Structure 1
Amino acid sequence: MSTQDQPRSSLSSDEAIRAMLLLMPRVAARLKRIPIPERLQSFNLAPRHLSLLSYLLFDGPMPVNQLAARLEVAPTTVSLMVSDLTGRGVLERHADPDDGRRTIVAITRDEQTRAAIDGWLANGANAWRSAFAPLSAEDRAMFVRTIEAYERGTTGELN
């Protein structure tokens, strides 16, 4: 085992940057190789769909405007995605029983499609569960904040 493969208890800033610059392309390549379940292959799902489906799977049905706020996109963008996925049988829409002007979006009740979505997302959730297991709640929060800061930095939003 080389020194780069040994567990790291501390890293200088430059060592951490080097490690992450080498690691991130491998992570991205592995994510791209995760097969889309056969049931979902014809839907042409993109990463934005994965985020939308994750919110609905983990947090349950919600209004279009709430999905838009979480995805940090315009409500019209979410409406288009929802229309597309509703037409393909992936999502369902219904009127909010408390406010008929609002539309509630949910993952389809079709068990095979729902199971395919759940299985597809479960792989990533299980990997994160394993990665986060040895960390404290504070360490997990710091990791999430760090990745968020990295994302902002890659888009030019340095603060």
Structure 2
Amino acid sequence: MSTPSGGPAVDEAVRTLLLLMPRIVGRVKRLPIPAALQGFDLAPRHLALLAHLEYDGPVTVSELAARLEVAPTTVSLMVSDLAKLGVLERTADPADRRRRIVAIAPAFAAPIAEWLSGSASAWERVMRDLAPAERATVVGALRAYEAALEEGLTDRS
């Protein structure tokens, strides 16, 4: 059933999204992992971390934690795991030798870019056809959905 503005009613939109989201997640999970990254048991949290480093460049663990919206200790553990595998490098910050800068190791830069490109190119195709306000609505709706899910999990604990 449509609303007077021509869009779907709330219950129809929710139904459509509940059916759509598992298909989207399934397709994202089927994006091929480059050979150089296979066998590393990478999880979605690693993909988010690698995406930030790929798109924003080298940063400190604290900056990465802020961008990922998780505790610095969580990021530190992920960085340690990926550094042991050789996927990430930690170097001294030239501005403050006590701080460490995290970056993608050169040998893994191309495979990580390849892995992220499937999802990124799909988003670029979708976003390119939207007006800036529509893009803001999509991003805002996804952020609000994530927050509502988190709130629901918190309420159950």
- Tell me the residue number matched to 2:11: 14
Shift of residue 68 of structure 1?
A: 0.7
Match of 1:54 among 9, 32, 51: 51
**Equivalent position to 1:146, from 138, 141, 146:** 141
- Distance in 1, matches of 2:85 and 2:46, equals 13
Matched, 1:70 2:72: no
Tell whether 2:84 aligns with 1:87.
yes
**Percent identity over paired residues:** 54
Aligned to 2:3: none
Query: Residues of 2 paired with 1:15 and 1:87: CA distance?
Result: 48
Match of 1:105, SS state, is: strand
1:119 is aligned to 2:126: no
The TM-score, its normalising length taken from structure 2, stands at 0.89
- From 103, 122, 133, give the equivalent of 2:128: 133
1:91 partner amino acid: L
Looking at structure 2, the residues matched to 76 and 155 of structure 1 have their Cα atoms a distance apart, in angstroms, of 20
Q: In 2, Cα distance between the equivalents of 1:77 and 1:21?
A: 30
Superposition TM-score, scaled by structure 1 size? 0.88
Unaligned runs of 5+ in 2: 1-5
Asked if residue 41 in structure 1 is aligned to residue 42 in structure 2, the reply is: no
Report the equivalent of 1:4.
none
| Aligned positions, number | 148
Describe the superposition over 1:69-103 as per-residue Cα deviations: whole angstroms up to 9, x where unpaired. 11111111111111111111111110110011111
- How far 1:35 sits from its partner (Å)? 2.2
1:90 counterpart letter in structure 2: V
Amino acid at match of 1:33: R
Q: Deviation of residue 11 (structure 1)?
A: 1.5
The separation in 2 between residues aligned to 1:94 and 1:76, in whole angstroms, is: 18
Alpha-carbon deviations, 1:9-47, whole Å to 9, x = none? Answer: 622212211111110111111112222111101211111
C-alpha separation in 2, matches of 1:101 and 1:73: 22
* Separation in structure 2 between the aligned mates of residue 143 and residue 34 of structure 1, nearest angstrom: 22
Partner residue in 2 for 1:27: 24
